[in-house]
Structure 1
């Protein structure tokens, strides 16, 4: 019963500082009582008094096995983390004079990326004299956006950054 203060700041047993607490018993009954009485109750069940809601008024404590409580808590956090989807940005690179077939091919890839929930960063790279054809690059990016308008929306319109023109697409 005399466990040290846990690392995650969940207070247990003697570390609970409140004068009065709401105690939830193993049989799901609850009552508001003093911390000393709650500790004696927990001892009678041969379990720990764990503070589950320290911000409540009075703080809520539960009479449970602390090890089991921490195991369940970690399990829930792991499950929540598993359900999170991280959005990644996939990049497609073009040149201002990219052929129609290449554009179709890359459009199919962009469609796959967007359907799987990723963002697409379409980039047109200008080299040397290609800088004369910036409007050609912009038309290329807008053509890509138009062919994907049913599943994607433009997050950032085509704009020049140095020798590159960049446009961001996100799934609808």
Structure 2
């Protein structure tokens, strides 16, 4: 099938000899292109193909300038909404001694946030001597990332979490990319460490 060019969708540039015209009441009638063009001209509007690959192509009589404006505005609004979501950062906090149930809850929340298009900042807080064992944080974050690998990816240039004082964090953004690379790298940093269930949980 020949690809229809954008300029072949409007008025006299339509190449089809017949069109299926959608009327104001929703009914559809097959007309010769010239007859449909005459109706559009009489109404002071345009003949536009809304489904050019149909046989015959489906057309509507409308104000093309207004149609294009509304379409572009709708796309801009959608892009703005999407950008607003990806600029929102939801933080989830963990500790090396977090219990399995609490960990599962954090995973559930993270998946919900990523599904809605939000970024997620995962932060592990170290207490006391835990700060001398960063491998605990690496193992915990690696385990978390494995649970959301189908929904998000890390935006860290080095793929590894940032350790600042007693906090280790990593930002996850919607869309699968580089997650498993991060997990592999972090597992290598803490090969023997597994998340331990909080005895007090």
Give the structure-2-normalised TM-score: 0.47
Which is richer in strand? 1
Provide, for residues 22-48 of structure 1, a one-character-per-residue CA deviation record: whole Å limited to 9, x for no partner. Answer: 112344332111111111111222211
SS, match of residue 32 in structure 1: strand
Distance, in Å, in 2 between the alignment partners of 1:72 and 1:43 is 22
The number of residue pairs the alignment matches comes to 126
Contact 2:8 2:15 in 1 (8 A): no
Is the counterpart of residue 25 in structure 1 residue 35 in structure 2?
no
Distance, in Å, in 2 between the alignment partners of 1:80 and 1:67 is 20
Provide, for residues 107-166 of structure 1, a one-character-per-residue CA deviation record: whole Å limited to 9, x for no partner. Answer: xxxx8xx558325588xxxxxxxxxxxxx54333124567xx5x9936332516xxx959
What are the ranges of 5 or more consecutive residues in structure 2 without an aligned counterpart? Answer: 96-105, 124-132, 150-179, 191-201
Match of 2:73 among 45, 57, 75: 75
Q: CA RMSD in A?
A: 4.3
Match of 1:153 among 142, 147, 150: 147
Contact 1:50 1:63 in 2 (8 A): yes
Q: CA deviation at 1:14?
A: 0.2
Contact 1:51 1:60 in 2 (8 A): yes
Give the structure-1-normalised TM-score: 0.53
Q: Equivalent residue for 2:137? A: 140
Distance, in Å, in 1 between the alignment partners of 2:81 and 2:38 is 40
Over alpha carbons, which structure has the higher Rg? 1
Q: CA deviation at 1:58?
A: 1.2
Q: Equivalent residue for 1:118? A: 119
Distance, in Å, in 2 between the alignment partners of 1:50 and 1:20 is 13
Distance, in Å, in 2 between the alignment partners of 1:62 and 1:50 is 5
Distance, in Å, in 1 between the alignment partners of 2:36 and 2:141 is 67
Is the counterpart of residue 64 in structure 1 residue 62 in structure 2?
yes
